Chains A and B, each alone.
Chain A
């Protein structure tokens, strides 16, 4: 089957991924508390739902594999199988395999031999866990369903009546797939297809569904699971499920509620083996008498209670199901799933609005129209609020990213044979979605690195008087318009001497250079730098740390290290909250405009203290402090005359300061950052562009890079 379900399929992928996430969290929780029944259930539910949904889309590979895992999980759930650490590992591997199967389906590629072999290995391991009863397929023997007297059905089959709504096909669902999936829950003993609703040829719409089904299912599952099969068409179909052992009266009730002719339905039920002919005849005649006597029909619920037809557990199941549905609805009310593209285009529009607003403001100021200026400032405030609101829509909590590391820490600590605990704090700190997506890789590098090199082996730790269990910490908090993410370990800390020795080897520093701790630590971000004595599987090849720094800088962030010998190290990453809109400070140099993020501007001073006229000084005496200067005009090789009076904008980033020499200060400005094209990727010191109200383009300066530059230029003149 090859139905292209488009959007529904995308929803399936998105949901499956979040279910896999739940599964992983559940498994990791089980590792600490193996008898947490709720976690086992959560894992089981996740696997089950993935299987169910995959079945609807005909993704047989996923169904087959997940089914095996689910069976073993079921045994664990029923306490038939102890949940050992090995088993959790196996389930984690299975989870990964399901994810791989999903990826393969998303890409539309074929499974490569590696994953196939892995799938087979896992399947084999799973069947081992199932013991002798490895084959879970229902027995092939077809035991006829018989009835003993007294109206109680002895059959162990569920009777299911299905009438699909006309729009099912148009909604991209094929009733056949539901039946096929139902068949995986047990054995369909008998199925009658009803085409009674099929209208005359002329009126029949070939894209509507008119079919109904009466079927008997022989299965051990509960009612909720059978209902779950039809979850996707719940609103689009009439579903009646009668449990095994239902009374004749229940079937009569069913016959009453179904649209088709009673006698015909009765015959079908007899054919299914649900009723015997005698029972049918008796019941039908009783019912006729009753309906003749009773003028107003009793409500269904009353009848059910009166005649005690419904098993109490079914009532419970139905109630809990309803409650679950209510809860789900409440949750749905709290969250709306929105496509990221829609948010992006909203942000873009808000960006344009900000630019247009600035344009109006400029016109008003130019015409000196007081009333207009007042309206503009009112509007500007609103625009600003809309901007902030729109940006908040893109904000996501970093907790989800952090939680991924539970698995990383678990796997790596197993691999390294170290006992390491992960402590997460500040998970509720929010930052822009695009930033979150891009910070995962650098964080992984840092965490792996810290676990591999930072945290010592248990013996060394004990001999140093530390607890045998190492601790990794991930922390996040907001600080002055940005977010700070800390990755810390309580390991041995960075080894100053070894880094220095290595740096001298590589020719990064000269013999006798006297470096501050901070500068020493920075050396590890140099390309090809690794102090690990052994190259391990995980790290130590010297690739990584420079990539980490590059990735972070690409997000306009910085990274700094704090390390204490024997106590551990902390990598502190500072990132801007968003990449799209910033409060900027606008400056003019000759004919060009430049913007720096306002957070980085400390102060502005007039440039006159240093050598009148010559203007060649590379530093400034700022209240007794040496401030390296960077002349923007020279740096970007700008043509044109500078104004006579020049200004210095003192900027700061990551604890360093420098002065940018510009011609004109133009004040605060809301900058909507547009990325620069690929061809400008090599230009140092520019991180983006923005459009001014007048339509002119201003370049956004990349302050950290410029600070490096200024420090280099400055240090050639004086030692800072």
Chain B
């Protein structure tokens, strides 16, 4: 799992790549929370996420909740197919409230 960040105007763009799974969860948690500390507006680009499991979903949810609690904005973007599949299964699209770009073949109900 790699996180690389870049500042765009006043937003922090973070690109996540690799597996967001239980194997990396212990390292990922502090890394994600640390990003929250660095900026008030963060965009987390998930296009490079190859695998996402329950522990990864939890961390994303934790990060989102912390961000809302601290009055910061956290936007997820560029959902990779692995992320989309999990979000669709768990009905999380609405929970995060970010626009998701669905591939043409995906079923329509995920965006709800």
Contacts and interface: CB of A to CB of B under 8 A. Distances in A.
Q: Do the two shown chains form a genuine complex with each other?
A: yes
Interface stretch (B2-10, B39-47, B73-81, B87-95): B87-95
Nearest to A213: B90
Interface string A160-196: 0000100011000011100110010000101111010
Contacts of B26: 206-207
Contact of B95 (A169, A188, A193, A213): A193
Interface in B52-108: 53-55, 57-59, 61-62, 65-66, 86, 89-92, 95
A594 B90 CA distance: 72
A515 interface: no
Given A198-B62, A206-B29, A193 B55 contact: no
A394 to B, nearest CB: 38
A207 B95 contact: no
B58 A175 contact: no
Contact of B22 (A169, A190, A198): A169
A497 interface: no
Interface in A284-336: none
Interface in B11-54: 22, 25-26, 28-29, 33, 51, 53-54
Given A201-B33, A209-B54, A190 B25 contact: no
Contacts of B66: 201
A3 B52 CA distance: 11
B61 A180 contact: no
Contacts of B53: 1, 3, 174, 176
Contacts of B90: 176, 179, 191, 193, 213
A190 B54 contact: no
A198 B59 CA distance: 10
Q: Which residue, of A1, A193, A204, A211, has the highest number of chain B Cβ atoms within 10 A?
A: A193
Nearest to B89: A179
A480 interface: no
Given A201-B62, A204-B62, A174 B54 contact: yes
Contacts of B91: 190-193
B64 to A, nearest CB: 9
A195 B55 contact: no
A227 B102 CA distance: 33
Contacts of A183: 89
A176 B29 CA distance: 20
A112 interface: no
A48 B85 CA distance: 25
Contacts of B28: 206
Nearest to A200: B66
A277 B58 CA distance: 30
Contact of A206 (B59, B65, B92): B59
B86 A211 contact: no
A211 B58 contact: yes
B50 to A, nearest CB: 10
A142 interface: yes
Contacts of A195: 58, 61-62, 65
A195 B51 CA distance: 20
B65 A198 contact: yes
Contact of A209 (B58, B65, B109): B58
Nearest to A178: B54
B54 A169 contact: yes
Nearest to B50: A2
A176 B58 contact: no
A209 B61 CA distance: 12
A619 interface: no
Given A204-B29, A206-B55, A174 B22 contact: yes
A585 interface: no
B109 A142 contact: yes
Contact of B55 (A1, A2, A169, A191): A169
B51 A2 contact: yes
Contact of A180 (B62, B89, B92): B89
Given A175-B54, A195-B58, A201-B33, A206 B25 contact: yes
B27 to A, nearest CB: 9
Contacts of B58: 195, 198, 204, 206, 209-211
B22 to A, nearest CB: 5
A207 B22 contact: yes
Contacts of A3: 53
Contacts of A1: 51, 53
B100 to A, nearest CB: 15
B62 A176 contact: no
A190 B109 CA distance: 10
B61 to A, nearest CB: 5
A188 B110 CA distance: 12
A191 B89 contact: yes
Contacts of B62: 195, 198, 201, 204
Nearest to A204: B62
A267 B95 CA distance: 15
B89 A207 contact: no
A635 B14 CA distance: 81
The interface centre, meaning the residue of B22, B51, B92, B109 with most chain A CB atoms within 10 A of its CB, is: B22
A604 to B, nearest CB: 67
B33 to A, nearest CB: 6
B35 to A, nearest CB: 12
B63 to A, nearest CB: 9
B29 A211 contact: no
A52 to B, nearest CB: 18
A692 to B, nearest CB: 53
24 contacts: A2-B51, A164-B54, A169-B54, A174-B22, A175-B54, A176-B86, A191-B89, A193-B61, A193-B91, A195-B62, A198-B58, A198-B62, A198-B65, A201-B66, A204-B29, A204-B58, A206-B25, A206-B55, A206-B59, A209-B54, A209-B55, A211-B54, A211-B57, A213-B90
Interface of B: 22, 25-26, 28-29, 33, 51, 53-55, 57-59, 61-62, 65-66, 86, 89-92, 95, 109
Give the 4 A-B CB pairs with smallest separation, nearest first: A206-B25, A206-B29, A193-B90, A191-B91
Given A195-B62, A210-B58, A213-B90, 15 more contacts: A142-B109, A168-B54, A169-B55, A174-B22, A174-B54, A179-B89, A195-B58, A198-B62, A198-B65, A204-B58, A204-B62, A206-B25, A206-B55, A206-B58, A211-B58
